[in-house]
Structure 1
Amino acid sequence: MSQPDKTREPPYDGGCLCGAVRYSFSVPTIGARICHCRTCQKAMGAPFLAQASFPKTSLNVTGETARFRSSARLWRHFCGICGTRLFIEPVDAPNRIGIPIATLDDPEVIRPERHIWVSEKLDWVRIDDGLPQHPKASPVPYRDI
């Protein structure tokens, strides 16, 4: 019986809205966070970004993505056809890649572990999930790769 309040075991499959780009991971996530920073808000066109990170070498992808450097430390990859934001690639951690959890075929399989950048959270967003909250970046490192 699955535990809906826990991250489930891999594999994790997902892709863009039009189906031109598909991805999969066969390893567990090394961390899942909800980011409330203004850059993520604007990049996603949403009040926050729920994202999971993985070892970059574990990413299997089919299809082409375009990318945009949204800050000095992040490349954001997206489908060039439908525009779905797919990968978050940190320049300062070249062995890690993130995905928006909502792009998974089943977004319930990975549960966020904490909120970060809550100092930039929109006033009308209410956080009542009991997860740890950090005003800026998380002081908790990602799990080892």
Structure 2
Amino acid sequence: MEEDATGGCQCGRIRYRVRIENDDAYLCHCRMCQRATGGVSIAFKGVAKANVTWEREPDRYRSSPIAERGFCRECGTPLTFEFLDGENLDLTIGSFDAPDRFQPRHNYAVESLHEQWLDTTALPRYRTEDNPNVVKRWMDAIGRLPD
């Protein structure tokens, strides 16, 4: 099932098209990813670098002696992780236009995994439109709730 998928950063400055072979993805729990994103993990889709076409190349940060991370300098969206000497890169699932298509297949760097964040199904759930303070802010700002 090869097909193209698209994505980009929050502000739209950086966009990409990528040829994907499947919907397999994974969660990385390493401390570098946690610090780079400010989250407890990050969801990635591994792809061949040759299969990615950038409308505008992302900005890059050399996050270690062996890898760099692509991001947008304007809005801060994390976009990629890539080893300096590899033929593949990882695209952030959240940067895809249709992130819901991907399925997590494994956890990586579990030595720094935070178990309490893995299964949150028992926690109460709240929808954005049920928070009147947030709804009012969005309505005052743009007249609707964001996508």
- The TM tier, using the shorter chain, reads 0.7 to 0.9
Structure 2 length as normaliser, TM-score? 0.74
Pair 1:65 & 2:65 matched: no
Which residue is equivalent to 2:118? 126
Greater gyration radius: 2
- The structural deviation recorded for 1:27 is 3.1
Which residue is equivalent to 2:134? none
In the alignment, is the contact (CA less than 8 A) between 2:23 and 2:103 conserved in 1? no
- The structural deviation recorded for 1:112 is 1.8
Pair 1:85 & 2:78 matched: yes
- The structural deviation recorded for 1:29 is 5.0
Which residue is equivalent to 1:3? none
In the alignment, is the contact (CA less than 8 A) between 1:75 and 1:90 conserved in 2? yes
In the alignment, is the contact (CA less than 8 A) between 2:24 and 2:103 conserved in 1? no
For structure 2, the residue ranges without an aligned partner over 5 or more in a row are: 121-147
Pair 1:111 & 2:106 matched: no
CA distance in 2, matches of 1:31, 1:91: 23
Change (3 A) 1:92 1:127: farther
Aligned residues: 121
Which residue is equivalent to 2:45? 52
Matched position secondary structure for 1:108: helix
Structure 1 length as normaliser, TM-score? 0.74
Q: Quick one: percent identity of the two aligned structures?
A: 32
* Structure 1 moving runs of 4+ over 6 Å: none
Change (3 A) 1:17 1:100: same
In the alignment, is the contact (CA less than 8 A) between 2:66 and 2:84 conserved in 1? yes
Change (3 A) 1:71 1:77: same
In the alignment, is the contact (CA less than 8 A) between 1:29 and 1:54 conserved in 2? no
Which residue is equivalent to 1:27? 20
CA distance in 2, matches of 1:30, 1:105: 14
CA distance in 1, matches of 2:64, 2:24: 21
Change (3 A) 1:127 1:37: farther
Pair 1:16 & 2:9 matched: yes
